[in-house]
Amino acid sequence: MSELYKMNEQVMLGTVTLNVKDLDVMTRYYEELIGLDVLNQTDTVSELGIKADGQPLLKLVKVDATSQQTMKAGLFHTAFLLPSRKDLGNLVYSFIKREIPIGGASDHGYSEAIYLQDPENNGIEIYRDKDKSEWDVQENGRIKGITVEMDADGVLASRDEGQVDKMPSGTLIGHVHLSVSDLEQNQEFYMDVLGLGLKDMFGDQARFLAAGDYHHHIGSNTWRGALPKRDETDLGLRAYSFVLPTAAALEELRDNIIKLGIPLVDDTQEAISLVDPNGVKVVLEVKKKAFNV
């Protein structure tokens, strides 16, 4: 290609879809423990988000999981981005008070984050971004990340005095972190096909990519070793979506995908979808309304 397509900086992530074995248990976990609201529910699907915002952040789909599931490429964690440090402090305090296990807590330079596992071993990150003036932005546009112990006392001190056990309005899917078999193949797809930029790399083990000047919308690592490509009915990550600002932005991306000869799974005026090298469905859709409404 003479000129690489670049995804618009106004792009954000939309909804993460997980295939689950026990829909009731998983729905209760994300509603009662994590603090999301159930927006819509049937016998086979639960959509959760923030009721005041009206946008589904997480979709749980019940699948037949009677056969033995082997570890495959897919989700490392879904990352929920909170509006402020105060909100993170509220949730950390809530988890400690209710004795909800927290698997880790880190300062990444550009963010502060805690980590959990849901009942079916899907990773969860809940984090807040620091002000961009605190990010280590290099001259080439790379954003250097670190992993050190989070200032838990400072986070807890930032919380409200009231009891808060819910995720706040304005919570988004900040990024999706993938377990992959081939970092180079994964990076090529997300940069050349979808137009993300490389923001940071951890040797030959991890890559972090984003639209615009964000630290990362997509993380990828090979920490779990060589993993086979996943199928649509495997437990875990089924799909996730990028939300583009305009129909024109979607058309530009569609043109780039077609030019590269990548097959589309779905193709309408409002959304297109394709499958990444890990077997994960990536949905690209036009923003329908503002998140904070």
Cβ partners under 8 Å of residue 238, min gap 6:
17, 18, 19, 61, 232, 280, 281
> Residues for the chain: how many in total?
293
Burial of residue 1, with CB atoms counted within 10 A of its CB: 0-12 exposed, 13-18 middle, 19 or more buried: exposed
Provide the pLDDT for residue 184.
96
The phi, psi pair for 15, rounded to 5°, reads: -120, 135
3-state secondary structure 17-28: EEEECCHHHHHH
Hey, is 84 helix, strand or coil? coil
pTM over 0.85: yes
Please list the pLDDT of the chain residue by residue as tens digits (293 residues): 336 788 988 999 999 999 999 999 999 999 999 999 999 999 999 999 999 999 999 999 999 976 556 789 999 999 999 999 999 999 999 999 999 999 999 999 999 999 999 999 999 999 999 999 999 999 999 999 999 999 999 999 999 877 688 999 999 999 999 999 999 999 999 999 999 999 999 989 999 999 999 999 999 999 999 899 999 999 999 999 999 999 999 999 999 999 999 999 999 989 999 999 999 999 999 987 543 32
Burial (CB count <10 Å: 0-12, 13-18, 19+), residue 27: buried
Rounded Cα distance, 240 and 17, in Å = 6
* Rounded Cα gap, residues 146 and 265, in angstroms: 37
Rounded CA-CA distance 80/257 in Å is 28
SS (H, E, C) 110-157: CEEEEEEECCCCCEEEEEEECCHHHCEECCCCCEECCCEECCHHHHHH
Nearest residue to 101 (alpha-carbon basis) of 77, 71, 124, 129:
124
Return the DSSP state at 183: H
CB atoms under 10 Å from CB of 31, counted, come to 16
Nearest to 143, CA basis, from 196, 97, 200: 200
Residue type, 161: E
- Domains defined along the chain, listed by start: 12-286 (3.10.180.10)
**H/E element holding 144?**
strand 143-144
Terminal CA-to-CA distance of the chain, rounded, Å?
41
Q: Which CA distances in Å does 234 have to 14, 34, 54, 170?
A: 21, 24, 28, 31
- Strands 111-117, 123-129: pairing is antiparallel
Contact 124, 117 (CB under 8 A): yes
Largest CA distance in the chain: 56
